[in-house]
Amino acid sequence: MTPLISNPYKLNTGNNMAPHTTKSVENGQVGTSSDISDSGLPTPLSHDCCSSPVLHPTLAEEALAVGLEIRPLLGQSFGAEVLKMDLVNKPMAPIVNVVRKALLAHKVLVFRDQDDLTPEKHVEFSRYFGTLYQHALDEARLPGAEDIVVVSNEVDEAGKKKGINGIEESQSRNGRRHYWHSDLSYMAAPPMGSMLHIKVLPADGSGDTLFADMVQAYEGLPSEKQSELLSLQALHLFHKNLSKEAYSAMDASARAVLENLPAMSHPVVRTHPETGRKSLFVSEGFTTGIEGMEEAEGQALLDWLFDYTSQEKFVYRHKWKKGDMVFWDNRMLLHFATGSELPRTLYRTTIKGDVVF
Ligand code: OGA
Ligand code: MN
């Protein structure tokens, strides 16, 4: 049987690079990296930019200069809509740096009205921000556009699943399909961001995606708690929520995929490589324990953190509209799929980030 969890990934070492990318060799793997600013690195933002839901005036002007309008989400402490974007026809090179700054400032960007976005353009745009992770399972990749992960609960005429949709209930440790997580956090260099494009919107308006702000969560802790967490490392495991029975029932090749993804240790509090800000980096989806702590003690701390971080005050609920393409920063946010009983399909790209520190 195949583990239908949205995860085992390999890096696309692709030759299909967007313009202005350079080849680099990291950890023995060839990848591509964006070369979008003069220095080759995005301009670091001042800390003031990120705590306010109000649009940074300079960024508003920069956006206008490249024909975009960025509107912070009303009544939310993070998130912005990007209007007047046309991911199919606009030349991307001039706007990429503005989008990157907007992502750092707002954490999640909602590009409206991208109904015509093709998988090829989705991939091309994503590659301006880094190398893409490709899903290891054939059934998760879009035929002809292998960098796209198909997130879907639909089946085709032959009854074959069109993509992946969380963890199968029958294979789940506790029957749950969806968990708060940061994509691929069990990798040494987890994704900086993911881009999700809605293809089939459930007719009843279900299927919201939740995002929780781990920067605010960290900053909201008392300083003693912050210092306690700063010294800790947590383990992240791809198949954390797969039941033991399901694991044992797997065929050898499927199990090999999981065995190639051993538990990965990351700091509980990470520092954002571009903004310098700290955030919590644990999730019920993948974090299995705290290094150097007894299992029960580590679990108690994690349970506390899972409850604390999922509080409504940290959460933005994205209600999908037709044509939406959402780009979020996995280094600052956790997200959660609420799922749907009705047909729902999205295409995702997953952009490699830095080793966590
Ligand atoms: C994902 C994901 C959320 C959703 O694609 O990484 O978690 O609501 N999707 O489908
Ligand atoms: Mn996800």
pLDDT digits (tens, 9 = 90+) for 92-117: 999 999 999 999 999 999 999 999 99
- For residue 115, what is the DSSP state? T
Average pLDDT over residues 35-64: 56
φ and ψ of 22, to 5 deg = -120, 155
* Residue closest by Cα to atom 8 of ligand 1: 337
Average pLDDT, the chain: 87
For residue 131, give the DSSP letter. P
Residues 6+ away with beta carbon under 8 Å from 133: 9, 10, 11, 12, 184, 187, 191, 350, 351, 352
Mean per-residue pLDDT, 119-142: 93
CB neighbours of 273 closer than 8 A, spacing ≥ 6? 331, 353, 354, 357
The structural domains of the chain, ordered by start, are: 52-351 (3.60.130.10)
- Tell me, in angstroms, the distance from the centre of ligand 2 to residue 197's CA: 13
Q: What is the pLDDT at residue 253? A: 84
Ligand 2 center to 151 CA (angstroms)? 9
Range 321-330 average pLDDT: 98
Handedness of CA 61, 41, 91, 87 (dihedral sign): negative
Which is higher by pLDDT, 348 or 36?
348
Which residues does ligand 1 sit against, CB inside 6 Å?
6, 151, 183, 194, 196, 209, 335, 337, 346, 348
pLDDT value at residue 133: 97
Q: Is residue 64's pLDDT more than 80? A: yes
Task: Say if residues 329 and 138 touch (Cβ distance below 8 Å).
Answer: no
Q: Which string of b and e fits 34-72 if b means at least 16 CB within 10 Å?
A: bebeeeeebeebeeebbeeeebbeebbebbeebebebbb
Tens of pLDDT along 304-318? Answer: 999 999 999 999 999
What pLDDT, on the 0 to 100 scale, is given for residue 11? 54
